[in-house]
Amino acid sequence: MSDTQEYEKAAATSPTTVAAFATHDRSMVKSIQHGLHQTPWMVPAIVLVGSILVFGLVLGQKFFSPFALTLILQQVQIVGILGAAQSLVILTAGIDLSVGAIMVLSSVVMGLFSFRYGLPVEIAVAAGIACGTFCGFINGFLVAVMKLPPFIVTLGMWQIVLATNFLYSANETIRAQDIADQAPLLQFFGNKIAFGGAVFTYGAIFMVLLVLFLAYVLKQTAWGRHVYAVGDDPEAAELSGVQVKRTLISVYMLSGLICAFAGWALIGRIGSVSPTSGQLGNIESITAVVIGGISLFGGRGSIMGMLFGALIVGVFSLGLRLLGADAQWTYLLIGVLIIAAVTVDQWIRKVSV
C-alpha cells in the first residue's frame, strides 16, 4: 500500500506481536464462569451428584440401592421424554405448553384405534404417532409462517388438543387388563429388564437413548447447529443462510413426534389409556429444561442438562418421600432450584463483559 493515509503511518511502526489475553487476572470465579459458558450442563450435573450423595448419606441403603436409583429413572421417564421435546422448542427461543396434551391425545388415539375400531395395534400406534406429529406441525406452521408467538400458539393448542382428547375419548379409560390381553404392544415401554436389584423399563431406556441421540443430532449435524442459530438470533440466522421457517416447523414436528412417543411410554407406565393422565406434563417438562440450564431465551444449553434436570426433580421427590417429609417440601425446593437456575443462566451470559 503506497497511498496510506497520514494518520495510519504510525500504525505501521506499532508492535506486530499478536495481542495475547492477559491470563493472570482470571480469578477463580471468572474461570468458573468461563467453564460454565463452555459446558452449560455442568451446574445440573453437579447438583444431581450432590443431591444423590446427600440423600445417600442421610438415608443410607434405603436410597442408595440399585432398586431405588432405577426407580427414579422410571419415575422421570415421561417427564424426561417430554423434556426432550420441550428442549428442542426452547432452544429455538420458543415454548411448548401443549406437550402434555399432545402426549395424552396420542395415547388416546393409540388406544381407541385398537379398541374402538379394532384396527391392528401396529396401525393404531402409527396413527397415534402421526397424530402427535400433526399437532406439532400445526404449532410449527403457526409459529414459523403466521409468525404468532409460541406461547400463545401452544397455549391455544393445549386447550384445543385437551378438549379434543376428552370429546374424542368420551372421557373413557381403557383398562390395563384389556390392553395386556388384546394389545400388549401398547404396553411395550412398560417391559422391564432386571439385573440385581436394578430394574430398567424400556421407557426409561428409551428416554436415555433419545436424549443421547438428540445430543448427537444437536451437536454433530447441520440441522442441530441451525436450531441453535435460530434460537440465538433468527434474523442473523436468516441472513447467514439458514432456512428459518423450515427449521422451526421441523423442530415443532419433531417435538410433536417425541410427545407421541411419550404417549406410548405413558401407556406402558400407567398400564391403561387414560384421558385424564399426564395433565402436568407441560409444566414438569419446562421445569426439567430450566433446571437443566437451557436458556428460556433460546440458543443456549444442552439437552443432557435437561436429563439431569429431570433426574434432580426425581431424586428430590423420592428422597424427600423416603424421609417422610411433606410433599410440599419437594415443590418448595424445586421452586428454589428453578429460580437459581435462571440466575446462573443470566450470570453465564455476562461472560464476555
Binding another protein by CB under 8 A: which of 4, 31, 191, 276?
A: 4
Site string for another protein, 71-110 (x = CB under 8 A): ----------------------------------------
* Helix and strand numbers, DSSP H then E, in the chain: 15, 2
Which residue, 247 or 317, has its beta carbon nearer to another protein? 247
Which of residues 269 and 300 has its CB atom nearest to another protein in the complex? 300
**Does 5 interact with another protein (rule: CB under 8 A)?**
yes
Find the binding residues for another protein in span 200-259 (CB under 8 A). 220-223, 225-226, 228-229, 232-233, 235-243
Among 301, 311, 210, CA closest to 255: 210
Q: DSSP string of 172-189?
A: PPBPHHHHHHH-GGGGGG
The DSSP H or E segment spanning 231 is helix 222-232
Nearest to 288 by CA among 100, 62, 23, 71: 100
Which residues lie below 8 Å from residue 294, measured CB to CB, with a gap of 6+? 40, 87, 90, 91, 300, 301, 302, 303, 305, 306
Segment interacting with another protein, rule: CB under 8 A, options 17-25, 42-50, 69-77, 261-269: 17-25
Q: How many residues interact with another protein (rule CB under 8 A)?
A: 36
What the block records as the C-alpha cell of 282 is 407441560
CB of 180 to another protein, least distance (A): 38
Contact status, residue 291 vs residue 44, Cβ threshold 8 Å: yes
Q: Which is nearer to another protein, 230 or 265 (CB)?
A: 230
Binding site for another protein (CB under 8 A): 1, 3-5, 7-8, 11, 14, 18-21, 37, 220-223, 225-226, 228-229, 232-233, 235-243, 299-300, 351-352
